[in-house]
Amino acid sequence: MKISKEQARERISLLRREIEEHNRRYYVDNKPSVSDFEYDLLMQELQFLETKFPQFFSQDSPSVRVGSDLPLQTSKKEFVQVTHKHPMLSLSNTYDKLELEAFNERIKKSIDSDFNYVCELKIDGTAISLTYSNNRLIRAVTRGDGNTGDDVTSNVINISSIPKNLPASNLVKDFEIRGEIFMPWSSFDSLNKERELNEEPLFANPRNAAAGSLKLLDSSEVAKRGLNAILYHVITDTPFFATHYESLQWAKDCGFPVSEHIVLCQDLDSVLEYLENWDEKRKTLDYPTDGVVVKINEFVHQQALGITSKSPKWATAYKFKAEQALTRIISVDYQVGRTGAVTPVANLEPVLLSGTTVKRASLHNTDQMQLLDIHINDYVYIEKGGEIIPKITGVDISKRVTTAEKPLFPEFCPDCNSKLYRAEDEAKFYCLNSLHCPTQIKGKFLHFAGRKAMNILAGEATVDQLYALGYIRKLSDLYHLSKEQLLSLEGWKERSAERFLESLNTSKSTPFQKVLFALGIRHIGETTAKSLASHFGNIANLMEAAYDQLLEVEDIGETVADSIVSYFSEQENISVIKELIEAGLLFEIKNDIDIKSDKLLGKNIVISGNFSISREELKKIIESNSGKNLSSVTSNTTYLLAGEKAGPSKLDKAKKLGITVIDEEEFFKIIK
């Protein structure tokens, strides 16, 4: 089809905007809205049009720039950004073996002498660059935009497979090594199960989970995510190795996590054999792979071939196509979660996909059902998002029977029959009968007793039994259960009752932030609960907090503030909290800080930026000198302690309010 210059200009402009939006969702938000294959088709079309109409080419085009994971300027918090000594490029890729043959022919024409390939599994994670000096890890930086990345050293040191120090006998003292940080399937599955239980948004795939985890501001949380790494590229200023394969063997000997599946290939036939082998075998691995990277082995040839502004000419990636299965929708169920969200779930004819039998797939919400135009008895295509979470990606209309009917989303709660409600800005319908809907009540007990909350020995079967007998209706009822009541439960013996009561007693020492999380307030996850507990100190201050005061807390937006105000407006919730306090639960932060002086007594201090020590250490120093940490600048702030890359909004607000801004040196003079 012919296309005019004006049509090409408009299409190129549209493609650039669309690709930039997908880049933002993929790299920054970690919530991609299209598959890799769909994204690559858009990029290929853009590259074709820019080649055919060179007058519209631009150096700012996403076709020549690496997608960036750097946060937007509007972000509340940012990591320190570091310029890469050597640019971190992306790879050209293909789904077609014919294009691999064309790549091989280009190499042959450019190189007169013999060469080898190295084949590596393409790990679907997030790129990282590690810098070592004198055998010690000194910096870990994300890809960013290829030239500048985020310094995430404090998080990376929590990944056990990455060496922090190398043997003194190692001769290569100063170097850079790059690779992928990823989340194993086992960790990913476990994380999403917890998020689903807490009704938090699920990660679409392990890559997004790894990238999101690496950008967490609480390093202790990163340590819990089960991240791992595979490294594949060594860079030295002084030549130490003749080939890529040799450098990886050295890295492996030093204790770096290098893939055991790297293979040296003599020719393209060996490469194609490797692809065929791993297209199936990769499904047996405990980490995500989406293709194979093919590299020229000899460094002298790599240097001769060079790079483009976006990718090396001596390497390419062959990507595997996502596995699909076709099966029939038998029916649709509607599940009520602990926060009242009603989720449609399709029941499917069992089908084998990526090594597991799939029987159910979430339809997420009514909008998704309408978008897919789902009918009962439709044949639908199933994929696994990240090859773990089954999802319906399309309908085979040609197989639809004339009698097929659309499933009707219920108007009333399938459990308590209350009228369902949907806010204008929400995709889901909710049952608002949170205090009397049986499924919601039991869901709250399961959340409250969970390992990350109160850690009480009460699973789904126990909660069902206790609820059925009328022993529990509100959370505080747990702490009034007697041994006699427990022994009346089917299958319970003396020892099981004693262990349950012991876990209840132990739960009374659970820290305030976990108790707050355990209450199950909508939109309050672990991190948010920690921020609220730290900011307000006790439950009384939080209950009395005005809407504007809630918005002053870091990471608290309007939606969360609305949820908190709504929760504490219910008298039944207030009564339950009072009963939990009477039962002995902790609803205030226990201050175990050793007070060394009163030099900051009455001083409210806000910390912003980066310092020679961690923020957590600074906060402890402030508290040990009788000061109070605030998370946002208000008229009550005494000092804004500003380090390198301090937040511009906080600096501006301090200036407007006349708040004294001090640096690290001035701070230590004050407490000296």
Active-site residue set: 122
CA–CA gap between residue 295 and residue 315 (Å, rounded): 4
Is residue 236 within 8 A of residue 545, CB to CB? The reply is no
Is residue 458 within 8 A of residue 452, CB to CB? The reply is no
Partners of 628 in the β-ladder: 604
Which stretch of DSSP H or E encloses residue 331? Answer: strand 325-336
> Considering only CA atoms, which of 208, 236, 257 is closest in space to residue 29?
208
> Could you tell me the two tokens for 117?
């390939």
CA–CA gap between residue 371 and residue 93 (Å, rounded): 30
Q: Which residue has the tokens 């998370």?
A: 631
Alpha-carbon dihedral 448, 451, 454, 460, rounded to 10 degrees: 40
Helices vs. strands in the chain: H and E counts, helices first = 24, 22
CA–CA gap between residue 24 and residue 7 (Å, rounded): 26
Is residue 187 within 8 A of residue 179, CB to CB? The reply is no
Local structure of 106: helix, strand or coil? helix
Cα–Cα distances in angstroms (integers) from residue 344 to residues 335, 362, 400, in the given order: 6, 6, 21
Cα–Cα distances in angstroms (integers) from residue 111 to residues 92, 100, 107, 247, 300, in the given order: 20, 17, 6, 22, 10
Give the Cβ contact number of residue 51 at 10 Å.
Answer: 10
- The dihedral through the CA atoms of 429, 431, 434, 439 has a sign that is negative
Partners of 137 in the β-ladder: 132
Give the Cβ contact number of residue 11 at 10 Å.
Answer: 16
Cα–Cα distances in angstroms (integers) from residue 255 to residues 135, 167, 192, 251, in the given order: 12, 9, 31, 7
> Considering only CA atoms, which of 623, 628, 629, 618 is closest in space to residue 595?
623
Partners of 30 in the β-ladder: none
- The dihedral through the CA atoms of 479, 482, 488, 493 has a sign that is positive
> Could you tell me the two tokens for 139?
């910096």
Q: Which residue has the tokens 């789902």?
A: 374
Which stretch of DSSP H or E encloses residue 421? Answer: strand 420-421
Written in H, E and C, the secondary structure of 452-518 is CCCCCCCCHHHHHHHHHCCCCCCHHHHHHCCHHHHHCCCCCCHHHHHHHHHHHHHHCCCCHHHHHHH
